Amino acid sequence: MRKVLGGLFRVMPLLFGLGFIGPLIAQILTLAGWTLPGDVAPLAVGMVIGGVWGGIATLTGRWL
């Protein structure tokens, strides 16, 4: 159990970026009324930004 939780907490910033920040960015884009070129879905943009930001936070250990 300790190994499972340890592994989960090690990637928690990435999961947070994909599970919270990504959809949040998508909602902000939708509410702002911004249309993306090439009919790209706002959720796709949010997931890319959230995933990259969470991945960087996972590797460096900090969000900023």
Per residue in 10-57, pLDDT (tens digit) is 889 999 999 999 999 999 999 999 988 888 999 999 999 999 999 999
Q: How many folded domains does the chain comprise?
A: 1
pTM for the model stands at 0.83
Print the domain residue range for 43: 2-60
* Angle subtended at Cα 19 by Cα 10 and Cα 3, rounded to the nearest 5 degrees: 25
CA distances from 59 to 31, 37, 55 (A): 31, 31, 6
5 close to 50: Cβ distance less than 8 angstroms: no
d(CA 64, CA 62): 6
- Tell me, what's the pLDDT at 13? 92
